[in-house]
Amino acid sequence: MTFELKRTPGPPEDSVALRVVVMLAVELAIMAVVAQHAVDVFTAAAALLLAPLGYWFSYRRRAHTSLAVKLLLSVGLLAALGQFLQAVGSAGSVDQARLPLASLFLWVQVLHAFDVPRRRDLAFSMISSTILIAEAGALSLTTGFALLLVPWMGLCGVWLSLSSRPRPDQVAPPVSVRRIEPADASRRACVYAPARAAAMPVAAVTVAAFVLFLAMPRVPGSFVKAPPFSFSHPPTQLSSFDGGVANPNLPAANPDGVVDFAPGAYPGLSDHVDLRARGHLSDSIAFRVRAPQAALWRAEAFDTYDGTTWSLGDPQTQTLLAGAAPGSFDMPGTQGSAEAFAGPETVRLTQTFYVDTPQPNVLFAAATPSTVYFPAAGARVDRYGSVRTPILLDAGLVYSVISDVPVPDPDRLRRAGTTMPRGMERYLQVPGELPSRVGDLAGDITRGSASEYDRVLAVQSWIQQHTRYNLDVPADPPGVDAVDEFLFVTRQGFCEQIASSMAVMLRTLGIPTRLVTGYGPGSRNPFTGYFEVKQSDAHAWLEVYYPGSGWVQYDPTFGVPEAAPGLGGRFMAGPVFAAIGRFAQDAVPEPVKRAAGVVAGAVRDVARAALHEWPQAAVVIALVGLAAVAWRRRHRGRADSTRPADAAEAAFLDLAAALAPAGHARGEHTTPGEYLRELQGDPALASEVVEAADTIVATFERSRFAPLASRPSREDVILARMLVAQVRGKVGPR
């Protein structure tokens, strides 16, 4: 039994194209959510199959609204809501509620698809699909999401275009529509006109969106904080975890005991850093970081240098204690201790790491971590603030860290005292065999520097000016001090040699330092917003201790990202152009790059010459402008010369077209008079049709052949057109 409900205002939407566009957009949105593994397989398959079915059903039933269907849909919605509430009730964290929430969205979308009779309902479907694809976008880690987003955007554009047209009930249907083809000159333009018409809005939106994207500030969230969370597949437990570092991907040691770089493993992430190690790391992504700003992702710190190798002077660790939030662990407080950063300002940075390539059991985080969200208990921290975990950081593992990043204040650092607290001697250690010329050099460099801070900057500046970064530097000869060799022989090396040299030189000046390893900030993907950190971003830098202020990071190789970026650093223009540059560097063939360089050089030369000889340049520009205006006017004049066909001829052609289905197709060489006689000879034709044809043909012939004074008037032509409409009515629609 069906009860008919009173429909709300607005006729049902009959446009199949509009419905297909909406359905495709919804399907793409569902696929996007499924691609992020946000729903289970059953829900995904059911949604993908049921949504098109729903739109088909809704189209067939658009003119009827039955209570039974609405009741069924309500029951379905209640069931989906019940399932969601049940799943959320058993979720232990916000992260675990993602799956049921996505499922609820999907079911609402699918059920809604069964009841979209009007254009406004289809608009709600588009809004719903926007929510779905936004959810997928929030979960997406890679640029591959564009494969779904771009077509979805295209469908949105088509939907905007189709739905912006007035509904059939908002316009009057004309009695007849006649299209008069353009003249030959315009016909050529017509060939590309549809493509141009489609390309123009696409180009306009693309340009506007690109500019807006560049101008859109990446401000830190202030209202809804990105919730820190952790997630792990079945983890790889370490058999005997005692707080040490396990890096199973490292290759076996060479005969001389040196462990070289492996493409997927940085030897600096172990219990020592050997400056004799050589090799290259791969460009595969190690992990992605969701964070509002860049930072050095710190893993380990070393205090003891023996001439070739940095090691841990104190291997003692302590266990992280469970924090207040579920899955969180608090770092042991350094407040009040000698090594605490006592600067006036820190920036709280919430980072979430998505591990892509297996990593050792060290936790990467911006300095200085305060709370860790990790999927396994039992992590330990050493005295240098490095966290080791009882499981390896396998691919797919997610963890969050909240860090209080120190914001160094140069004035405060300059005013730092010289009295070192107890226990800092370990950070002043240098090998006994260290050649004295290292210390002498440091003394020479810093002569005249008034404060410790100025001495640090002087040494860093000297290293940056007098050494060169080179990953292919040959191995050091046996028995030499790595720092001495780098400073006085090769002056080439990579981050480990550079950072070690600065650390050792500062130690010779009585400034406490330690070598730090981890990863550089990586490059920010402008689309996903994540920092993509590659294996080759593995990095070494140093930390310098300032009495009263604590440890401050220095990276003489690439520099330390700003702890409190200014306004300029909040925009995506830099990362976008950097990404474009990287793409151009990688993708554009060398000859093209060379050609572009030549063109750019030529343009530069011309511009320079024009500036030098500006009067002549102004004349040339004016002449070119005048020529362009003249060409355009001429072209426009040609375009205006096209005139539509004579209306009387149009009426006659319409008559022939209307009568063609009735067996009176006009031959190619049949004159109007012959055609009329043919009509008059057909007894099957109604007399009104023949009389109308007589008038129409007469009007046409007069328009063509009569003297100017006897040409048909405007009223005659209108009468002819009206008669054509009547003939159509008699013989049926065209």
Partner 1 sequence: MPRPRKRAAGLVVAAGLLFFLGTNVQAGWLLVMAACVLGAAMAGAILPALMLRGVQLDRRAPAEVHQLETVLVEIGVTNRSRGMRSGLVVSDAFVQPKRFLVPRLRPGERVELTTSRQARRRGPQAATTVTLRSCAPFGVAELQRRRRVDTETLVLPAVVALGPLSFVRPADTAEHAIRSAPRRGLGPEYLGIREYRAGDSMRRVHWPSTARTGTVMVREFELEQTRRIAIVIDASWDASWDASWDAGADGWTPLDRVCATAASVASAALAQGHGARLVLPHATGVEVLARADASELHRRLAHVVPDPARGFAELLEGLGSEVRGVETAVLVFPARRGHDRAAIERAVAHLRDLVPHVVVIAVEVTEEEAASEVMAPGSWTALEEGLRRVGAEVFPWRSGDDLAVLLSPGPDGEAAA
Residues 371-390 within binding reach of partner 1 (CB under 8 A)? none
Q: Does residue 157 interact with partner 1 by CB under 8 A?
A: yes
With respect to partner 1, which residue has the nearer C-beta, 559 or 644? Answer: 644
- Name the residue nearer to partner 1 (CB basis): 415 or 633: 633
Task: State which residue, 72 or 183, has the beta carbon closest to partner 1.
Answer: 183
Q: How far is the CB of 187 from partner 1 (least distance, A)?
A: 7
Where do the DSSP E strands lie in 501-625? 513-519, 523-524, 531-534, 538-546, 550-554
Burial of 166 (0-12, 13-18, 19+ CB in 10 A): exposed
For residue 368, cis peptide bond before it (omega within 30 degrees of 0): yes
Query: Among 202, 173, 151, 158, which residue's Cα sits nearest to residue 19?
Result: 158
Residue 9 binds partner 1, judged by CB under 8 A: no
Q: Is 163 in the site for partner 1 (CB under 8 A)?
A: yes
Q: Which is nearer to partner 1, 67 or 216 (CB)?
A: 216
Restricted to residues 687-716, the positions that interact with partner 1 (CB under 8 A) are: 714-715
Per rule CB under 8 A, is residue 223 in the interface with partner 1? yes
Residue with smaller CB distance to partner 1, 243 or 292: 292
Residues facing residue 239 across a β-bridge: none
Contacts of partner 1 in 274-313 (CB under 8 A):
290-292
Q: How many residues line the site for partner 1 (CB under 8 A)? A: 85
Q: Strand runs (DSSP E) across 480-583, as ranges? A: 492-493, 513-519, 523-524, 531-534, 538-546, 550-554
Binding to partner 1 (CB under 8 A): which residues in 226-265?
226
d(CA 189, CA 639) in angstroms, rounded, equals: 10
Residues numbered 178 to 207 that lie near partner 1 (CB under 8 A) are 178-183, 185-187, 189-190, 193-194, 196-197, 200-201, 204-207
The least distance separating partner 1 from the CB of residue 177, rounded to whole angstroms, comes to 6
Q: What letter represents residue 391's amino acid?
A: I
Stretch of 84-92, 157-165, 256-264, 330-338 lying at the interface with partner 1 (CB under 8 A) = 157-165
212 binds partner 1 (CB under 8 A): yes
Distance between CA atoms of residues 586 and 233, nearest Å: 35
Which of 70-78, 393-401, 428-436, 526-534 is the region at the interface with partner 1 (rule: CB under 8 A)?
A: 526-534
Pairwise CA distance, residues 696 & 16, whole Å: 39
Output 196 or 582, the one with its CB closest to partner 1.
196
Rg (CA), the chain: 38
H or E segment and range at residue 497: helix 495-508
Quote the least distance from Cβ 285 to partner 1, whole Å.
15
Residue 593 Cα distances to 575, 597, 600, angstroms:
21, 6, 10
Q: Are 360 and 392 in contact (CB under 8 A)?
A: yes
Region near partner 1 per CB under 8 A, out of 93-101, 276-284, 492-500, 636-644 = 636-644
> Which of 45, 94, 216, 489 is the binder for partner 1 (CB under 8 A)?
216
CB nearer to partner 1: pick between 83 and 176: 176
Q: Kindly write out the interface string for residues 97-136 of this chain, putting x where it contacts partner 1 by CB under 8 A and - elsewhere.
A: ---------------------------------x--xx--
Structure tokens that stand for 692 in this block: 């109308």
Asked whether 387 and 298 are in contact (CB, 8 A), the reply is no
Which parts of 543-572 interact with partner 1 (CB under 8 A)?
572
> In Å, how far are 602, 604, 624, 626, 713 from 613, measured between CA atoms?
16, 14, 17, 20, 64
Closest CA to 275 of 442, 462, 485, 468: 485
- Segment contacting partner 1 (CB under 8 A): 52-60, 101-109, 173-181, 538-546? 173-181
Among 137, 268, 390, 520, binds partner 1 (CB under 8 A): 137
61 binds partner 1, rule: CB under 8 A: no
- Choice from 58, 380, 721, 731 touching partner 1 (CB under 8 A): 721
172 versus 709: smaller Cβ distance to partner 1: 172
115-to-26, 120, 124, 170, 227 alpha-carbon distances in Å? 14, 11, 11, 23, 36
What is the pattern of x (binds partner 1, CB under 8 A) and - over residues 471-490?
A: --------------------
The upper half-sphere exposure of residue 330, i.e. CA atoms within 13 Å in the direction of its Cβ, equals: 8
The least CB distance from residue 172 to partner 1, in Å, is: 4
If we measure between CA atoms, which residue out of 680, 706, 713, 705 comes closest to residue 694?
Answer: 680
Interface with partner 1 includes 611 (CB under 8 A)? Answer: no
Report in angstroms how near the CB of residue 17 gets to partner 1 at its nearest. 12
Residue closer to partner 1 by CB (options 325, 480) is 325
Report 423-452 residues binding partner 1 (CB under 8 A): none
| DSSP 8-state symbol, 399 | E
Contact call for residue 529 and partner 1 (CB under 8 A): yes
Neighbours of 622 (CB within 10 A): 10
Binding segment for partner 1 (CB under 8 A), chosen from 98-106, 156-164, 277-285, 678-686, is 156-164
Q: Using the rule CB under 8 A, is 221 a contact of partner 1?
A: yes
Least distance CB 676 / partner 1 (angstroms): 22
Q: Are strands 492-493 and 513-519 parallel, antiparallel or unpaired?
A: unpaired
Among residues 471, 719, 729, 730, the one that binds partner 1 under rule CB under 8 A: 719
To partner 1, the closest distance from the beta carbon of 170 in angstroms equals 7
Binding status of residue 170 toward partner 1 by CB under 8 A: yes
By CB under 8 A, is residue 208 in contact with partner 1? yes
Does position 527 interact with partner 1 (CB under 8 A)? The reply is yes
Q: In terms of CB distance, is 175 or 603 closer to partner 1?
A: 175
CA distance 44 to 29: 11
Determine contact, residues 77/108, Cβ cutoff 8 Å. Answer: yes
Give min distance, CB of 40 to partner 1, in A: 23
66 vs 186, beta carbon nearer partner 1: 186
> Of residues 496-525, which lie at the interface with partner 1 (CB under 8 A)?
525
Q: Which is nearer to partner 1, 227 or 332 (CB)?
A: 227
Q: Is 530 in the site for partner 1 (CB under 8 A)?
A: yes
Least distance in angstroms from the C-beta of 654 to partner 1: 9
Closest CA to 157 of 119, 195, 211, 206: 206
> Given the complex with partner 1, which of 130 and 370 has the nearer CB atom?
130
Dist CA 546 CA 453 (whole Å): 8
CA distance 459 to 446: 7
Give the C-alpha separation, 274 to 288, whole Å: 27
Helical spans, DSSP H, in 355-435? 410-414
Which residues in the 648-687 window bind partner 1 by CB under 8 A? 650
74 binds partner 1 (CB under 8 A): no
- Calculate the CA dihedral of residues 162, 164, 166, 168 and round it to 10 degrees: 30
Q: How far is CA 10 from CA 70, 116, 119, 246, 472, in A?
A: 18, 12, 8, 68, 73
Stretch that binds partner 1, among 162-170, 389-397, 457-465, 532-540 (CB under 8 A): 162-170
Scanning 48-56, 577-585, 676-684, 719-727 for contacts with partner 1 by CB under 8 A, the matching segment is: 719-727
The encoded tokens of residue 530 equal 């994540």
